[in-house]
Amino acid sequence: MEHDLTRRPRRLRRDGLRNLVSETTLHASDLIAPIFVDATTDERVAIPSMPGHERVPVEEATARVEEVLSSGIETVIIFGIPASKDAEGTRAWADDGVVQRATRAITTETTATVITDVCMCEYTDHGHCGILEPDARNDGTLTVANDPTLDRLGEIAVSHADAGADMVAPSSMTDGMVGAIRDTLDGAGYASVPIMSYAAKYESSFYGPFRDAADGAPAFGDRRHYQMDPANTTEALEEVRLDVEQGADVLMIKPALPYLDIISEIDAEFSQPVAAYNVSGEYAMLQAAADRGWLDLEASAHESLLSIKRAGADLILSYFAEQLAPSLPA
Ligand code: PBG
């Protein structure tokens, strides 16, 4: 025989042996379930592009979280649809705002760990992730005013901490957002509330279903002037480095599946826990294919999340969390 077959990897692939040498296991405790709370409705509203998900009224937020808890998932991230929107996004930091009310109820009435998304796009009538100013070229276009937005993000984070949030997750890709939020939280007596930064958030076409769900699509233009170019890796490392310097406790990469290389590099380079957001488009793709009988939903969802973990993510935010948890180890 020409080739050496003393090493035969197939020997360990037999049933009864393959589990012993399995390198990665997905646990229910790795997963975070997104929840949509809607102040404009008094009944649950299905989200057509995200089958199995719905917007729930504030009064049902705890009931919704109890459903998630009964699946074995212990952590939720809350997104809010406010009763009204304006140019400044003022409902984002209102003490009686949708996320604040829901967080207060969930943290007092359930055992869930609550993370809140800190951003303005669901609260501004223009749908951008901050307050606007004319672009530097003065050609009539508007862009997010970076530094004035930082103060608002700090106020939003403090209002979430006041409501009992266990961790805040800024997602606006504003330069300096982690440092500004850290300072504001510390100043308000919340030095122990951690920040999970959406550190490398790409300007992705995979957010479409979420923007339907949270009613957060930009009314004009796009988010290219603040979210990252999908072509860039070095820039992701720089974004993450800046967030680490500013005090980020958990580093999130978003989306997940098309960016496994980024997850893996960030995990290798930094000691902080890495989170990955398996976004709405990643969920919708598998749902649509499964709906046509082209893919096995549970198997393809499990393989997707396992791959994200194998790439280096410690925490995974996913719309599949609740569905997969009952078949996962704790
Ligand atoms: C808010 C925010 C978005 C998502 C999470 N937080 C939307 C966006 O940036 O347009 C997307 C999540 C998903 O697609 O599942 N800035």
Whether 124 lines ligand 1, by a CB cut-off of 6 Å, is no
Q: Is 202 in the pocket of ligand 1 (CB under 6 A)?
A: no
Q: What pLDDT, in 10s, does the model give residues 173-185? A: 999 999 999 999 9
**281 alpha carbon, distance to own chain's centre:** 13
Establish whether 309 is a catalytic residue.
no
% residues pLDDT > 70 (the chain): 100
Measured in whole angstroms, the distance separating CA 258 from the mean position of its chain's CA atoms is: 15
Mean pLDDT of the chain: 96
85 is catalytic: no
Q: How far is the CA of 211 from the centre of ligand 1 (A)?
A: 7
Q: Is-contact 117 79, C-beta < 8 A?
A: yes
CB atoms within 10 A of CB 240: 24
Residue type for position 243: D
Ligand 1: centre distance to CA 108 (Å): 27
Cα–Cα distance list, 251 to 111, 205, 248 (Å): 25, 21, 7
Catalytic residue among 101, 160, 201, 309: 201
User: Tens digits of per-residue pLDDT, 250-309?
Assistant: 999 999 999 999 999 999 999 999 999 999 999 999 999 999 999 999 999 999 999 999
| β-bridge pairing 142-144 and 132-134 | antiparallel
CB 237 within 8 A of CB 269: yes
Q: What is the pLDDT of residues 109-126, one digit of tens each?
A: 999 999 999 999 999 999
In this structure, is the dihedral angle defined by the CA atoms of residues 109, 112, 117 and 122, taken in order, positive or negative?
A: negative
Q: Higher confidence at residue 135 or residue 72?
A: 72
Q: DSSP string covering 22-61, please? A: ------GGGEEEEEEEETT-SS-EE-TTSTT-EEEEGGGH
Task: Count CB-CB contacts under 10 A for residue 231.
Answer: 7
The structure tokens listed for 122 are 């669901």
C-alpha of residue 11 to centroid of ligand 1, in Å? 45
* Strand-pair partners of 77: 34, 115
What pTM was computed for the model? 0.96
Distances from the Cα of 50 to the Cα of 110, 213, 248, 288, angstroms: 25, 8, 30, 9
Q: Do 144 and 129 form a contact (C-beta atoms < 8 A)?
A: yes
pLDDT at 2 over 90: no
Question: Which pLDDT tens digit goes with each residue over 85-111?
Answer: 999 999 999 999 999 999 999 999 999
Owner of token pair 């925490």: 315
1 confidence band (pLDDT: 50, 70, 90): low
Q: Which pLDDT value is given to residue 216?
A: 83
pLDDT value at 40 more than 70: yes
- Hey, what domains does the chain have and what are their CATH numbers? 26-327 (3.20.20.70)
Ligand 1 binding pocket includes 72 (Cβ within 6 Å): no
119 close to ligand 1 (CB < 6 Angstrom): yes
| Number of the ligand 1 atom closest to the C-alpha atom of 207 | 14
- Annotated active-site residue in 152, 182, 254, 309: 254
Q: What's the pLDDT score for residue 201?
A: 97
